[in-house]
Amino acid sequence: MIIVLRPDATNEQVDHIIEKVKKLGLTPHVSRGTERTIIGVIGPEDILRVTPLEVFPGVEKVMPVLAPYKLVSREFKKEASVVNVGKGVKIGGSKIVVMAGPCAIENLTTLSEIAAQIKEAGATVLRGGAFKPRTSPYAFQGLGEEGLKMLKKAGDEFGLATISEVMDPRDVELVASYVDILQIGARNMQNFNLLKEVGLTKKPVLLKRGLSSTVKEMLMSAEYILSGGNFNVILCERGIRTFEDSTRSTGSR
Amino acid sequence: MIIVLRPDATNEQVDHIIEKVKKLGLTPHVSRGTERTIIGVIGPEDILRVTPLEVFPGVEKVMPVLAPYKLVSREFKKEASVVNVGKGVKIGGSKIVVMAGPCAIENLTTLSEIAAQIKEAGATVLRGGAFKPRTSPYAFQGLGEEGLKMLKKAGDEFGLATISEVMDPRDVELVASYVDILQIGARNMQNFNLLKEVGLTKKPVLLKRGLSSTVKEMLMSAEYILSGGNFNVILCERGIRTFEDSTRSTGSR
Amino acid sequence: MIIVLRPDATNEQVDHIIEKVKKLGLTPHVSRGTERTIIGVIGPEDILRVTPLEVFPGVEKVMPVLAPYKLVSREFKKEASVVNVGKGVKIGGSKIVVMAGPCAIENLTTLSEIAAQIKEAGATVLRGGAFKPRTSPYAFQGLGEEGLKMLKKAGDEFGLATISEVMDPRDVELVASYVDILQIGARNMQNFNLLKEVGLTKKPVLLKRGLSSTVKEMLMSAEYILSGGNFNVILCERGIRTFEDSTRSTGSR
Amino acid sequence: MIIVLRPDATNEQVDHIIEKVKKLGLTPHVSRGTERTIIGVIGPEDILRVTPLEVFPGVEKVMPVLAPYKLVSREFKKEASVVNVGKGVKIGGSKIVVMAGPCAIENLTTLSEIAAQIKEAGATVLRGGAFKPRTSPYAFQGLGEEGLKMLKKAGDEFGLATISEVMDPRDVELVASYVDILQIGARNMQNFNLLKEVGLTKKPVLLKRGLSSTVKEMLMSAEYILSGGNFNVILCERGIRTFEDSTRSTGSR
């Protein structure tokens, strides 16, 4: 953590901050320059994160040096993660996995036809929405458990792993009992109670990036799931919302 | 709804679309121009919204004419809405209402001191977080029900209405039993199951704009609450996320 | 062009608009619906673009149907464009062309070394800045004509085509006399006088997308160059500015 | 300037960087922590800005501490600036100045009528476009010098100061000879050659914020003008481009 002082900070103010930092059990390193004095703080940044040093008199800004996440960082785990989702499908290895299927599950006949076709085309995971996040309350909201049953049936019939979205902490157990991968939609990337709930299962979780989320925030949301004990997280980059509307979203896809 | 055809659309394709529109019980108006043929469709747009006309051969784009919301529109209710939140506080009238208080409730003593001060300063609603949406799983998550009890106590003592955030559909009833206004945070603006749940209560709801939400989407989220039977919705513009980081968010506040 | 009327538009207002449209030599098609009346206007949209119909009483919004550009559209020229930049280099065909070189040209020795290396690596165009767009007035502004001479020399020596940025309408002739491709930087994508000036040459122009430009605006800027008589325009997608700062810019590249 | 080293940086790498910093005439302060070593560099940051320390082996990131501008900073000039634009109009003081007028000047009669009306309404500066930045090459490009003459005439007649946009470095002298304030449009905020040219005059300059510009970049553009010797710069916040399209731009407060 770097504390940058204001050009007009008094010696008293500087001393006060140094004292505070030491009290927290951290080691300050003071560098006095011609234009600014800066204080480098060595030690666990987490302690400082919850101490609002910005409000101390004489402080101009506080700049974090370390990333706020741990379990999802390369420093915690150097190797690439491979998530085994069952039915022989592994995500994160050298083989690209294709997931395909209808936006919303409508009936078993159609779903089975689609499953046959995507299998033929090389996909190994069948996706289909049973609980749908609709911007309009008047739109079709999905078949619910009925849809999940169809998804499981079609997946089993064609040897495809399955994935479906869960939107409500109360539904996690139910959805997990039918599918191979739980999907967290973009709108729920920061629905922290939902993240905690899927963190308590051992099911693979596909976490979609929120429309206005930074990469850092996405990693923090993954950290939520990992900190609950579930390390089977798959990140899904689906682009972000920008002023450009000639495509539905902007970014690497 | 306006259907714009491709310059190379055949007569057969145009006829096929017209037929389809008529079957849906709607009236097409065809305008043949030198560069493009367009079809205006008169009748309830909702029917068309769920019919993906864009995939029909010969169609270039489909442009909606009407807004997708009803209950929150000025056409449904011409007058400005005034929400009575209790303790003499009305939001939406000619008097500006100030809500103030700590980000997170920490203890009753501090909260009461704050309540006394904000009252002195002219605020009429006491805010305080008991369930906190934290980007980091390691940050303080709030006191929960204990915090709500303190909020109620401080509000009663100083004659202030109260507001606190609810993040989980399972907590709506609990939070509603302590506070005067339920707050939906920016990150949950499109947590549709939570919106439905608060729509089933009659409690005033303060709906905060999502970081990446358009005004239209915010109105659609309000529509969710109204369509559940709860017309006491207060919209909270808190700015959006943009490339500019010299302020925390961008926009009218 | 579609004119959408307000729900409370009077018959008089509708008649007034129809009359106005007819006077402009265009044909209106009126569709009266239960919720809205809309008027489709057939004929050259350009005439309407400069007529601010939005300010007419009774009008809710005006929606253009056609794209505002002509020369750069697929309707004007169906085939993909191939730009011949000289020294055997063609851009837009089946072969991917790599351009490489230093941000700023510093001296001939270094530039020649770089040219040798990029040639070895498969690049066919040597890039190097002689006039640099610097956000700070105190930063090195480039070697100017001296740099262009070095670029030409290095390009000739290694049989590489050359490209360099032009920032000022007054420098177009000068830069064009040394390089094979004129580069318009992102910050100048809407410097219309500069676009006009390069449009008067026959030199290939590489037009970089502005940080906040839509695809449509980029095409309009290209239209400027083509409308001046120069059809040798190469579009350069370099991403846009968004809230995400983990990469320098966002978007397909 | 803070140099943050990678967790796996070797002692040799650290020493190499320290040596480099010293050679530049600056003083490094090394803080060795458990997770990271950081080097605080004291001295003029400008020297470091042009030295790409990020590419040194062992360096994770370089964080600037000081703002990159000088003349426009509060540290250089503590008091608020007041720009005297003539005809008794001062911008930056306690009185709010209203500028009004037509987007494009069309003829003297209309312009005079408008001038009379805006004066009546309290405005003290007449604005009108003579050179227009048009996204389409086919749109009306303005009356040029003819328009400037009308603007001067109308301004003199009604005792209003005048403002008009200049888009081309070649036109600065011409426009400056007719108007009281030179306007730099949003699209030209980073047209550095234009900024330099207006910096050479003593005319007040109204600098509009670019659609995708940060506040910092806007200040850097102002620095360009001041560094040329012209301290009469007026900043114009006109909002930025975001995903929200219910208003033309987002921001200005």
SS (H, E, C) chain B: CEEEECCCCCHHHHHHHHHHHHHCCCEEEEEECCCCEEEEEECCHHHHHCCCHHHCCCEEEEECCCCCCCCCCCCCCCCCCCEEEECCEEECCCCCCCEECCCECCCHHHHHHHHHHHHHCCCCEEECECCCCCCCCCCCCCCCHHHHHHHHHHHHHHCCEEEEECCCHHHHHHHHCCCCEEEECHHHCCCHHHHHHHHCCCCCEEEECCCCCCHHHHHHHHHHHHHCCCCCEEEECCCECCCCCCCCCECCC
Q: For residue C37, what pLDDT band results from cuts at 50, 70 and 90?
A: confident
**If you compute the radius of gyration of chain D from its CA atoms, what whole number of angstroms results?**
24
Chains in contact with chain A (at least 3 beta-carbon pairs closer than 8 A): B, C, D
DSSP state of A97: P
CB contact under 8 A, A43 and D34: yes
Please say if the pLDDT value at position C107 is more than 60. yes
pLDDT at C191: 96
DSSP state of A93: S
CB contact under 8 A, D170 and C169: yes
Walk across the sheet containing D37-42 and list its strands.
D27-32, D37-42, D2-5, D59-63
B137, B167, B220 member nearest A136 (Cβ)? B220
Higher pLDDT, A30 or B167: B167
Place of tokens 């008169």: B42
End-to-end CA distance of chain D: 32
B7, B35, B40 member nearest C40 (Cβ)? B40
CB contact under 8 A, D2 and A34: no
Count of CB pairs separated by less than 8 Å, A with C: 34
pLDDT at B173: 97
Q: Residue A206 pairs with which residues in a beta bridge?
A: A183, A234
What's the mean pLDDT when you consider all of chain A? 91
Q: Tell me if C101 sits within 8 A of C121, measured CB to CB.
A: no
Q: For residue C86, what pLDDT band results from cuts at 50, 70 and 90?
A: very high
Higher pLDDT, B67 or A111: A111
Residue C20, C-beta contacts closer than 8 angstroms, at least 6 positions apart: C51, C53, C56
Percent of chain C past pLDDT 90, that is, above it, reads 62
Shortest distance, CA B119 to any CA of chain A (angstroms): 24
Test the A interface: residue of D65, D78, D212 with most A CBs within 10 Å: D65
CB contact under 8 A, C29 and B34: no
C chain contacts of residue B31, beta-carbon cutoff 8 Å: 29, 40, 42
Residue B156, C-beta contacts closer than 8 angstroms, at least 6 positions apart: none
D49, D191, D241 member nearest C191 (Cβ)? D191
D136, D188, D217 member nearest C68 (Cβ)? D136
Give whole-number Cα distances, A9 to A14, A38, D75, D94, in Å.
Answer: 7, 11, 13, 30
Outline where C80-134 has alpha helix (H).
Answer: 108-120
Please say if the pLDDT value at position C161 is more than 90. yes
CB contact under 8 A, B253 and D251: no
Shortest distance, CA D169 to any CA of chain A (angstroms): 30
Task: Compute how many other C-beta atoms are within 10 angstroms of the C-beta atom of residue A11.
Answer: 9
Q: What are phi and psi of C182, to 5 degrees?
A: -90, 130
Percent of chain D past pLDDT 70, that is, above it, reads 96
pLDDT at C46: 67
Helix axes of D192-199 and D215-227: crossing angle, nearest 10 degrees: 40
A chain contacts of residue D242, beta-carbon cutoff 8 Å: 243
pLDDT at A140: 84
CB contact under 8 A, C38 and B7: no
Shortest distance, CA A240 to any CA of chain C (angstroms): 9
pLDDT at D49: 66
- Strands D99-100 and D181-184, how do they pair? unpaired
Residue D223, C-beta contacts closer than 8 angstroms, at least 6 positions apart: C136, C137, D69, D70, D71, D72
Please say if the pLDDT value at position C112 is more than 70. yes
Q: How far apart are CA A207 and CA D12, in angstroms?
A: 41
CB contact under 8 A, D42 and A65: no
Q: Tell me if D184 sits within 8 A of D207, measured CB to CB.
A: yes
A chain contacts of residue C220, beta-carbon cutoff 8 Å: none
Please say if the pLDDT value at position B253 is more than 50. no
Chains in contact with chain B (at least 3 beta-carbon pairs closer than 8 A): A, C, D
pLDDT at B252: 57
Please say if the pLDDT value at position C43 is more than 50. yes
Predicted structure pTM score: 0.88
C240, C243, C244 member nearest A244 (Cβ)? C240
Give whole-number Cα distances, D36 to A1, A18, D4, D30, D62, in Å.
Answer: 10, 20, 7, 11, 13
B215, B243, B253 member nearest D244 (Cβ)? B215
Q: How far apart are CA B209 and CA B130, in angstroms?
A: 20
pLDDT at B138: 84
Please name which of A40, A6, A44, A8 lies closest in space to residue A25, comparing C-alpha atoms. Answer: A44
Please say if the pLDDT value at position B45 is more than 70. no
pLDDT at A20: 87
pLDDT at A50: 66
Q: How far apart are CA C27 and CA A107, in angstroms?
A: 47
Please say if the pLDDT value at position C253 is more than 70. no
Q: For residue C50, what pLDDT band results from cuts at 50, 70 and 90?
A: low
Q: Tell me if D5 sits within 8 A of D59, measured CB to CB.
A: yes
Give whole-number Cα distances, C108 to C99, C134, C143, C203, in Å.
Answer: 18, 22, 11, 24
Residue C172, C-beta contacts closer than 8 angstroms, at least 6 positions apart: C166, C182, C194, C197, C198, C200, C201
Please say if the pLDDT value at position A253 is more than 50. no
Residue B94, C-beta contacts closer than 8 angstroms, at least 6 positions apart: none
Shortest distance, CA A228 to any CA of chain D (angstroms): 25
Residue-wise pLDDT for A135-158, tens only, equals: 888 888 899 999 999 999 999 999
Q: Tell me if A26 sits within 8 A of A43, measured CB to CB.
A: yes
Test the C interface: residue of A213, A243, A244 with most C CBs within 10 Å: A244
Q: For residue A45, what pLDDT band results from cuts at 50, 70 and 90?
A: low
Long-range contacts of the stretch B90-96 (C-beta < 8 A, 24+): B91/B204, B91/B234, B92/B234
C42, C43, C243 member nearest B242 (Cβ)? C243
Residue B203, C-beta contacts closer than 8 angstroms, at least 6 positions apart: B176, B179, B180, B181, B182, B230, B232
Shortest distance, CA C61 to any CA of chain A (angstroms): 19
Test the D interface: residue of A38, A46, A213 with most D CBs within 10 Å: A38
The stretches in chain D having pLDDT less than 50 are: 253
